Each structure stands twice: as C-alpha cells, then as structure tokens.
A and B are shown apart, each in its own frame.
Chain A
Amino acid sequence: MTTSATARTRLTRWRWLPVAVAVAIALTGCGSSSDGSSGGSSGGDSGAKSITFWLSASAAQAQGYHDLAKEFQAKEGVTVEIVNVPYDGYQDKLRQAAQANSLPDTASVPSLDTIWINQLQDLSATANAPANKINKDLLTVKDGKVLCIPSDLTAAGLFVNKTLFDKAKVKIPADPNQTWTWDEFLAAATKVRTATGAKYDLVYDQSPARIRPFIYASGGKGFQLGPDNKFATPDDATVQALSKFASLNDDKVMPKSVWTSGADPNALFKSGQVVAYFSGVWQVADFAESITSFDWASAPTPGPIHATDINLGGKVVAFNNGDKAEAAKKWVDYLFQPANYTKLAQVNGYLPVESGLTLNYPFKKKAALDAFQLYIKEMELADPISSSGHQNGTKLLLAGKSIQEDPTKDEMAKLINGQQDIKKTVDNIVSGLNQQIG
C-alpha cells in the first residue's frame, strides 16, 4: 500500500468522527430532566422556588391571579409564572404538552382531558376544607380524588348596545321573569338597526356552548348522551333551531363572517355598529374597562323557555410535576382560601363557587354591577337543561372518555356556508362526537 493510499484509508476510517461527536453532543444536550417538570429545577426537597400557572383569560380576568401571585411569592417565597394562552388551541396545547412530558405545574383549564387526567394531584384537602365552603356539586371527583376545583361559574347571556336602543326608543325588558322570546328580541333588534343605521342585529360567539341556549330556548334538548354513553340523534326541535340559527346568518341579522370565517364577534360589538351580542358573563369585566364609546347593558336571555348554558369558567388543576407538585398544590390552596378567593372573584368579576362571601365588585360602571345581579337571577331561573352540557362532559370524563374537539362549530360553519344541508350537519355532529368517544 502506498503512503497516499494508507493516508486515504485512514481518512476514510475517521471521516465520520466529527459527525458522531456532533450527534453525541446534540443528544446529550437534548437529554430530558428526570423530574419532568416544566419550570426550572428547584434543587431542594422542600419544593420549588418557581412554578408555572397556565390560564386563558382577558387581561381584566387575569389581573386577580397576578395580584395573588405577588402575595403568594411574598408569603411562600415561590414565584408563580403566569402564562396566558390564547383560548383557541389551549386544549390542543395542553394535549401536546402532555405528549411532550412538559405540562405546566398548575393551570386553569377549559376542560379535563383523559390524556393527562392521571397526572393530576388530588385537591380534596382544599375542596373539602370547611372554611372554603366550595359548592361540592361543582367538583369533579374520581375514585375519591378531587381532580379540579372550578375557578368560577359562567352563564351565557345577551349584551345590548343600550345607546342604540335608547336612540331607537325601543325598550329592553328589565326583569328576567318577564323576558322576551327570540322572535320578539330579533324584531326589536331589527327595529333598532333600521332606526339607527347600525350594521347588524346581532353577533354570536362561535361556540358549541353558546349555541345550546338558542336550542334550549326553542324547546330542543340539543345533543345529549344516551344511557349507553353515546350521543343520540337530536329531536326535531333541535334540528329546527339549528336551521333557524343558520338562516339568521344572512349578513343583515348576523354577519356570516363570524361563524364561517372566524371573525371576532367581540371586536364587532365593540365597534358600536352591532345592536346586540350573545356571549357570556366573562365579558362583563372586559366591557367595563374597554367600552367607552357607547353604553352597554346585559339583557335577559330570550325565551320562550328560560335557559342558558351554565358552565364552569375554568377548572383549576395541579399537575404532579416531581418536586414542583407540593408548591403547585400550595398555590391552588392559596387561591381558594376565602380571603384570597374574595379578592380574585372581585377583581376578575367572577360568579363565585364559594358561598358566604361578601363580594364588592370594583366596577365603577353601573352596567357591570347590574350585569352581575342579572346573571345571578338568570341562573336561578334557568331551566335545569342549562347545565346538561357541563354534566355530559363530566359523565364522559369519569367513564374515561372525553370530547377533544366538539364538531358543532365546524359543521355549523359548513351549513351556514352552504357546503351541506341540515341533515348532514346533524349527522356529522353526532358521528363526530361519538367517534371521539370510541
């Protein structure tokens, strides 16, 4: 063998050394920590010095948590890093975090997911503490373990542009006991629109939970679980209600763009060019701060059947993240201590889950204070079917199943867009729900 040949052989032999070294370095760098926690390491068995708390809320409804986080840090020496995640995709993000073993330490989640339900800590001590007086009916309990504590109660409801109503001299019913029907409300809204030159009668949140009250008010039962834990084909009243709802998206009563293309109804209502907005109580804190160009008011939910969608605003959970677990549980317990929860509910404008609290909401606007009073009355008057959506979710969860993506939104968008008829829409919703249940 010549010298050059030997050299070349040697070269060939060592050619991949740099690659191997780089791969080894990269792999070492990508090695995961053993504790599986999402935050920085604490290093002590007494717990972490920082924990993460994910939520999805408007700035107004996140403020209460920021205030309490500062107090918690001062008291316990633990920093709470609050991450405000956009609602659209929050559930997906949690699912992906679970798959990547990087769940937050604590969170306020829209709903529980079977994918990460086994990684939740038991919050019984906080939930059952006599001093807290938390409504036990609102807890999700599995095998004696309290999986989450709701941060607040929510209800869907109607907001109106009071300035436009006053201008058109159209009256808004004040007493939820004598509410208007959907037909009466729509007639009134059209009258206001034509009298004032507004653009639309109504904008309506693009959400399965928000469309339920429209179905219930029309006498429909909506999409309900049968005894076999499968969603049954809905009754005729539900089908008719969905048809009617689709027909309202005619760019006069309602803009098509909200339900078909994801236009923001909140922004449209705030423009002052829309007579009414069907959304929910969580908007009150935001409207109190951000609507200054016109007067707004909460109005009774249209009937004839007095129904809304009673749900839990957020479900506070603590994940079992190694040495962060203890601090996470402490944070959740801190949130629900009556004095702290009072502050949280007042600042965030929450309908409370704890009884016996004296709440003085810090809103200067009378409209906001009136709205809370109205929502409390509305929830008392609401037909029992109003909480069936939330109950179905809990029932499925305890059976080890969950609905990750309610197809109602997408299928209704296709119906409104003329891509399919009502029969196909209803069939697709039912089959889409049942497919996920398995």
Chain B
Amino acid sequence: MPDITKHLQQQISEARNQGHKLAIVGGGSKQFMGRKINAVQLDVGGHTGIVDYQPLELVLTVRAGTPLSEIETALAEKNQMLSFEPPCFGDRSTIGGTLACNQSGPGRPWWNSVRDQVLGVNLINGKGEKLRFGGQVMKNVAGYDVSRTQAGAMGTLGVMTEISLKVLPRPAITMTLSREMEHSEAIRFMNARAAEPKPLSGACWLDGTLYLRLSGAHSAVEATAKHWDIPVMTDGDTFWRQLRNQQLDFFAGEQPLWRFSINSSAATPPLKGPWLLDWAGSQRWYRGDSEMATMEALAEKAGGQVSLYRGGNRTGEVMHHQQPALQTIQKRLKHSFDPDALFNPGRLYSWL
C-alpha cells in the first residue's frame, strides 16, 4: 500500500489555510468514544501496511491505519502477538485508533497496555511537520516520551502515521478456570491470585462467575491449575475473545456504558445495575444511567477515575475531570503540537 504521509500533510496544510477543523478517522470503529465533534473528516484509513517486522527483535513497525486483523495475522505466522490484546470492534479497527484511544484487552495487567508497548511514533503536527519520536529499541530516554503521550490523547496532538511496538511470543498454552463466586469475594480472590507468582493472564467476574486465565509453559499452567483446584472451562478462549471485543451480552443494549479505572481491590461503587469486573478488579464496567459528577465521586472514592465509554450524553464531558493546573498544562501541550487547534477539537474534553 502507498505511503500517503505527504498527502496527509497537504490536507493538513489546506485545512490550516482555510481554517477548517479536522476529525481524524481510521477505520471508524471507535467513533462512539469521546465527545461529538463537528469537523471535516481526515481519512487515515488508507495509510496501511507493515513497514518492518523483526521477530527476533520483538519489534513491529506499522502504518497507523493498518487493521489489527492484518497485524495479528502477520504476528501469528511467527508465533507472536500484540500482548495488549486490543479490542477489535469489527474488521476495520486500526492500530492508530487503538493507541489514540488507549485500548487494551484482558491481559493488560500482566502483559502491559498498548501505551506500555509503544516504542516510537511518527506523527504530523498541526504545522504539517513530519516528526519522529522514540524508535525501535526497548530502552530510549532521549527527549520526552511523546510516543506514549499519544495513548488516550484521542488524536488531539497530531496525526500518527507510523507506530513501532514491542511484540511478545505467544504462550505455549492457555487454560481457563471458572467457578461461581459472589461479587465482593471475587474481588478479594482475583487480587490474591494475582499476588502469587503463577502464570495468571486474565481475571474477570461476570454474572456470579469468576474466570481466571493461565498462560505460559505447559508445565507451569498445568501445575497451577492443579494447585488452585478450580474447574477447567471448555472453550475458554471464546469467552476471552468475546470479553476483549465486547461481544458478551453484557455489552449489548442501549444503557450507557461506564468504565471505571480504579484500585483493583476497592469495593465496587454502590450502584444498582450490572457490573463486569476485569483486570483483576482494576477495570470495571457498569451499565446504567447516572450523572457524570456522581460517577466521578464514586470513582475517586475507589482510588481512580471514570469515563462514559459508550452511549449517554456525548455533548457534555465524557472523561473524568482534570485538576485546573493539569488542565492548563494539557491546553498548553495541545497548543504546542497543534497551534491552530485543527485536530479533533473537543473530542477529549470540551476545553481541549
């Protein structure tokens, strides 16, 4: 596939000259996230392709519009994987959108997040300049870590064109254990298991059932399953795939979906309605109507933050509020990358 970086730079320059705002769109699978904005679409979905893949280095460099499915197929051929298990919301989910929205799946507490696995990015700033930060090596402290700062910035700092990532070998074997368990006991149990030196790679609770995933060397997984003495679930891989891609029944329906990122061992906020506990309790999903301010207070009590992930009112704020001093810094950062506020204005916060 052709490199369309110059074309993107041209479009950015034109928008700058004409005073247009730009909505960056890759595969369009995460349009439901963030705030609604009114801007001209900048399509980066055509900027695809694996630029470099060195399995022995555990490093992959891809264009930002590359679909996750294409990347995962190439990695699977070398028995490797994107360890952060990005959610795929259809075939068009791209690696750029995954990083911009900081999306990671069930293995995140053990295998790191997309943010953690980023080694470098190429991006075009609001002046149309092509910039490169980070690189393709595991350790690099030259300059500020602009690459990881893209995680969760939702495209407000620039248009990512290329991303280098650390990849990992696929585990030799995966096994899922499950048993019925009450909600609060599950929180304690998941955290206690996560504190043991065992090959845990997933811990989730839903509808009165606890799910634990073990991944690693055959001997270690089998010995741990025996030691913990929890029934083995058949077809556990399907459960984790549906969890990762938000295809479980829990995620269906019209009720607003809230995401709590909190202390893994905190008591779940007292809200009536269905909960799904993932990441050993660190990521909790709640479905129900509520006010942002109420949810923020509950999240803070649990040591973390909340966002209105899907549905609900997307013209108001959907992300946990920022302290005034941090708000000032983020405004200045935005200005430093994008002085004319071209990219995704208001997508992350109304004031950004």
Do A and B come from the same complex? no
**Which residues does B use to contact A, with CB under 8 Å?**
none
**Which residues does A use to contact B, with CB under 8 Å?**
none
